[in-house]
A and B are shown apart, each in its own frame.
Chain A
Amino acid sequence: MTIASGTVREAAIAAPPPAPAATSPARPRKRRQLTRNRWGYAYVAPFFLVFAAFSLYPFMYTAWVSLHETSLSNINGGTWVGLDNYRNLLQSEFFWNAARNTLTIGILATVPQLCMALGLAHLLNYKLRGRTFFRTVMLMPYATSIAAATLVFSQLFGREYGLINTMLEAVGLQAIDWEAGTVSSQVAIAVIVTWRWTGYNALIYLAAMQSIPGELYEAAEIDGASKWKQFLHVTIPSLRPTILFTIVVSTIGAVQLFGEPLLFAGNGTTSGGSSGQYQTLGLLMYQQGWSNFHIGQAATTAWAMFMIILVIVGVNAVIGRLRARADR
């Protein structure tokens, strides 16, 4: 083909076109900015409509309810009692019992769980045969619902015919009345939580481990670090943000613990054991509202739970920031 470098080109060079009649240079340009703005709102609108109606509004309303003496049957009314509910809550032995239990079960459930998850992630990070199989199997408990898991475990922990007691007796130990004891029942509940979440957290750690550049390990290897030293000095520090994240998420979950203690006894009582030995804050709130019909009191407990979570998240954020600053 021939390249038509002729007329157009030279014409263009010879005479740039005269400028068309100039338009006013200083016109307002706000209009288009606004239309583009509006599209953003249109996209988030469906989310925020549902969100406002079923989350934001209830959160606020719960605060309002917590300042009233009211019951479920008396939905719109109720008497203003100010901070009385909070005062009562802080003086209530039920609250402190539940708070104590939530704390101990929380520690029993999260600390071993996250440590095991970390170790498990380390194992899964090897070049394994049947890698997908192991990962999938370890996530099975996560797919099992709280209700199903608790029903199964309450059978396994059963006093008379529970498999765990049967095995304890088989090796010559004493059977334990898991449900009745304070420590034993809390351990049992912590086991359920640990069973359900260890694999999930291991996968989160595994993902973080895999994003650590291999060169770091090679450098450590050249520096003569053993595998264990590498784990300690390369893996753990790189995982710190992820570990902090899982701690926060697990603790938030632990504060809300509800289904396991509700179903553990197998009879659906809301007292958390005959002497409240595994009563948690989540269960207490349900008991106050739906067994005792003290809605105001229940709302107060809910807000107390939220406060506890805020403190935990706040403390973790501060720790995270201090560590980050120390690193700099």
Chain B
Amino acid sequence: MATVSFQQASRIYPKSERPAVDSLDLQIADGEFLVLVGPSGCGKSTSLRMLAGLEEVDSGSIVIGDRDVTDSPPKERDIAMVFQNYALYPHMTVEENMGFALKLAGISKDERATRVREAAKILDLSDYLSRRPKALSGGQRQRVAMGRAIVRNPQVFLMDEPLSNLDAKLRVQTRTQIAALQRRLGTTTVYVTHDQVEAMTMGDRVAVLKDGVLQQCDTPGVLYDRPANVFVAGFIGSPAMNLVTGDAVDGGVQVGSAVLPVPRDQLTRAAASNGKVTVGFRPEAVRLTGPGEGLPVRVNVVEQLGSDAFLYTSLADAPDDVLHSADLVVRTEPRTPVASGQQLWLGTDHGALHVFDAQTQQRVD
């Protein structure tokens, strides 16, 4: 068990201008489950591979426990990794796959067998120990990859999108199992995914990356409730937060013909850069109001999910100078009698508005 710390760690690929990972600072506590999340190419996998020793660190350093491992090869880092495609050795049985690292570490045959069997039991793989990976289903292979990591009892688990090759249903099942397993073993874990739902459900804390830069690292609750900037606000949550940009006017932000109310003090600071303000509100923070009250929108599509319904709408009177990044999404009670084409008026809950400086994209409280 150990803490992990990235200190100003950067990775610049040869022949590339922009760093893949740019001065990453991240402290991970002993036993913590930290998720790195972001769109593809954001540097999350590179960060993980830097921690694994598979990718060089061009500047800055990486510390595991109290050891600076920046220049150590993977085998000296006491880490175990679960790969996206599992990377099971095709010519070895499940047992040999799981015991390979122990064998290399010079652990006796009996000890190896004991530990592999124990891990196999946890992962419900006991019946498959003599099979080759080819003879296993995708879910079983995934568990072998997990087993290979846990038999080593390492200081840190590294997981690189370990669920992305499973089908949707199995993925949901497995993600709770992995989270539970990690809590039980108490091993510090760094987990990479592009799926924000996975990140929110699994992580103690979630680090959001974009273009190699850390945007925000906090608990799922804080990320959701107080996103640090426009990117995090739009990335976390499904459907995404509604974000509209407009001019700061007296009493709020002008969106089309309506004004979204923002407290004066907040508004002043948010408009400081260029007079424009980005406001965000989540689909569930929207109420349907009476005619003429709030934002006038036209319904494009109604999505009935059973437990809720989502209305995909656009501003009914959007003049060209109103920038809105996407349609406005509204969550309503299921079976709300709303049809596409219908005009509605939206009001936002008090205090549910997230306010960002439109220029710097940073949150203003």
| The residue from B3, B8, B25, B57 contacting A29, defined by CB atoms under 8 A apart | B57
Shortest Cβ distance from B31 into A: residue: A8
Shortest Cβ distance from A2 into B: residue: B184
A28 vs chain B, min Cβ distance (A): 10
Count: A-B pairs, CB below 8 Å: 76
| The residue from A17, A20, A25, A32 contacting B71, defined by CB atoms under 8 A apart | A32
Residue A12, interface by CB 8 Å: yes
CB contact under 8 A between A4 and B5, given known A12-B30, A17-B30, A18-B27: no
A-side contacts of B25, CB under 8 Å: 19
CB contact under 8 A between A12 and B7, given known A4-B184, A25-B60, A25-B61: no
Shortest Cβ distance from B221 into A: residue: A13
CB neighbors of B among A1-49 (8 A): 1, 3-5, 8-9, 11-13, 15-20, 22-23, 25-27, 29, 31-33
A-side contacts of B63, CB under 8 Å: 20, 23
| The residue from A13, A19, A32 contacting B56, defined by CB atoms under 8 A apart | A32
A-side contacts of B326, CB under 8 Å: none
Q: Please report the total number of B residues contacting A with Cβ < 8 Å.
A: 30
A-side contacts of B7, CB under 8 Å: 19, 22-23, 25
A19 to B27, CA, bound (A): 7
Q: Please determine whether B204 and A13 come into contact, CB atoms closer than 8 angstroms.
A: yes
Interface string of B1-38 (1 = CB under 8 A from A): 00101011000000000000000010111111100000
CB neighbors of A among B165-221 (8 A): 180, 183-184, 186, 204-205, 219
A166 to B117, CA, bound (A): 77
CB contact under 8 A between A4 and B57, given known A12-B30, A15-B29, A25-B7: no
Residue B66, interface by CB 8 Å: yes
Q: Please determine whether B184 and A8 come into contact, CB atoms closer than 8 angstroms.
A: no
B-side contacts of A13, CB under 8 Å: 204-205, 219
Q: Tell me whether chain A's interface is mostly helix, strand or loop, or mixed.
A: loop
Q: Please determine whether B204 and A1 come into contact, CB atoms closer than 8 angstroms.
A: no
A32 to B7, CA, bound (A): 19
Q: Please determine whether B59 and A8 come into contact, CB atoms closer than 8 angstroms.
A: no
A-side contacts of B219, CB under 8 Å: 13
Shortest Cβ distance from B179 into A: residue: A3
Shortest Cβ distance from B6 into A: residue: A19
Q: Please determine whether A12 and B70 come into contact, CB atoms closer than 8 angstroms.
A: no
Shortest Cβ distance from A10 into B: residue: B204
A9 to B68, CA, bound (A): 25
Q: Please determine whether A17 and B58 come into contact, CB atoms closer than 8 angstroms.
A: no
Q: Please determine whether A9 and B66 come into contact, CB atoms closer than 8 angstroms.
A: no
Q: Please determine whether A33 and B59 come into contact, CB atoms closer than 8 angstroms.
A: no
Q: Please determine whether B59 and A4 come into contact, CB atoms closer than 8 angstroms.
A: no
B-side contacts of A22, CB under 8 Å: 7-8, 61
A26 to B8, CA, bound (A): 10
Q: Please determine whether B3 and A1 come into contact, CB atoms closer than 8 angstroms.
A: no
A-side contacts of B183, CB under 8 Å: 3-5, 8-9
B-side contacts of A3, CB under 8 Å: 180, 183-184
Interface string of B146-180 (1 = CB under 8 A from A): 00000000000000000000000000000000001
Shortest Cβ distance from B9 into A: residue: A25
A-side contacts of B71, CB under 8 Å: 29, 31-32
A9 to B182, CA, bound (A): 11
A22 to B60, CA, bound (A): 9
Q: Please determine whether B58 and A12 come into contact, CB atoms closer than 8 angstroms.
A: no
A26 to B61, CA, bound (A): 9
A27 to B61, CA, bound (A): 9
Q: Please determine whether A17 and B56 come into contact, CB atoms closer than 8 angstroms.
A: no
Q: Please determine whether A17 and B59 come into contact, CB atoms closer than 8 angstroms.
A: no
| The residue from A4, A12, A26, A31 contacting B205, defined by CB atoms under 8 A apart | A12
Shortest Cβ distance from A6 into B: residue: B183
CB contact under 8 A between A17 and B186, given known A9-B32, A26-B59, A33-B56: no
| The residue from B29, B60, B68, B180 contacting A17, defined by CB atoms under 8 A apart | B29
A22 to B56, CA, bound (A): 18
Shortest Cβ distance from A15 into B: residue: B29
CB contact under 8 A between A17 and B3, given known A12-B29, A25-B8: yes
Q: Please determine whether A9 and B27 come into contact, CB atoms closer than 8 angstroms.
A: no
Shortest Cβ distance from A1 into B: residue: B184
A-side contacts of B56, CB under 8 Å: 29, 32-33
A289 to B244, CA, bound (A): 86
Q: Please determine whether B184 and A19 come into contact, CB atoms closer than 8 angstroms.
A: no
A-side contacts of B180, CB under 8 Å: 1, 3
A-side contacts of B31, CB under 8 Å: 8-9, 11-12
A297 to B187, CA, bound (A): 76
CB neighbors of A among B320-339 (8 A): none
A33 to B56, CA, bound (A): 8
Q: List 23 A-B contacts (CB under 8 A).
A: A3-B183, A4-B183, A4-B184, A8-B29, A8-B183, A11-B29, A12-B28, A16-B28, A17-B27, A19-B5, A20-B5, A20-B63, A22-B7, A22-B61, A23-B63, A23-B68, A25-B61, A26-B59, A27-B59, A27-B70, A29-B57, A29-B58, A31-B71
The 8 closest A-B pairs by CB, nearest first: A8-B31, A12-B29, A12-B32, A16-B27, A23-B61, A17-B3, A25-B8, A25-B60
Name 8 extra pairs, CB < 8 A, besides A12-B28, A13-B204. A3-B183, A5-B183, A13-B219, A17-B28, A19-B27, A22-B61, A25-B59, A29-B56
Binding site for A on B (CB under 8 A): 3, 5, 7-8, 25, 27-33, 56-61, 63, 66, 68, 70-71, 180, 183-184, 186, 204-205, 219
